[in-house]
A and B are shown apart, each in its own frame.
Chain A
């Protein structure tokens, strides 16, 4: 079961999810597409250029595979400390 976390503005549209990913979800892109269909308001946030996605606390600009063993976090623009 994958854990999906939402920070910043993403927390306005969803709380933490613990879900079995559908077979068609294999990477960050397909996960975002899936969540866009499931969560109202998610797609617009995910499309913002300053959105960051981490997989197991690692952020990469490249595509990354995801699975049910992973913790994936969606982060909106950082406000700073």
Chain B
């Protein structure tokens, strides 16, 4: 399931519901991304291209399903304005065994960080600036290349 919404994410409730949706899974790997408290950022604002962003993420999911034996995947992404401590993203992958779940979750986060059409602004000291892509994220994604 893929969901992009301005509504706050409750990771515990979402992961509990996901677990019930994959009763035969032997492993669930999950990741929750949170607005980091760096002592400066007042809030983040994320935007996306409705319809297009979901389509791109569906492509990541299809790719993950060709690489690992997955019983289900959950991708929840927040957009709009959010403050320190709020969840931005939850990714979970269910499989029969742990390695597939771990790796699929890791892979999907790398794709989201590099290739998902999201644009992020941070507000510091009342001033807002765009956040540029990071070389480290691209380097992380390259781990999955043959």
Contacts and interface: CB of A to CB of B under 8 A. Distances in A.
Interface of A: 5, 7-9, 11, 50, 54, 57, 73, 75-81
B52 A78 contact: no
A11 B113 CA distance: 21
Interface string B53-73: 001000000000000000000
A79 B131 contact: yes
Contacts of A11: 47, 119
26 contacts: A7-B119, A8-B130, A9-B130, A11-B47, A11-B119, A54-B49, A54-B52, A57-B49, A57-B51, A57-B52, A57-B55, A73-B52, A75-B119, A78-B114, A78-B115, A79-B119, A79-B131, A79-B133, A80-B114, A80-B116, A80-B120, A80-B133, A80-B134, A81-B46, A81-B112, A81-B113
Interface string B29-51: 00001000000000000111101
Contacts of A81: 33, 46, 77, 88-89, 109, 112-113, 116, 118
Interface in B68-126: 77, 88-89, 109, 112-120
Contacts of A80: 112-114, 116, 118, 120, 133-134, 137
Contacts of B117: 7, 75, 78
Nearest to B48: A7
A79 B137 CA distance: 10
A12 to B, nearest CB: 8
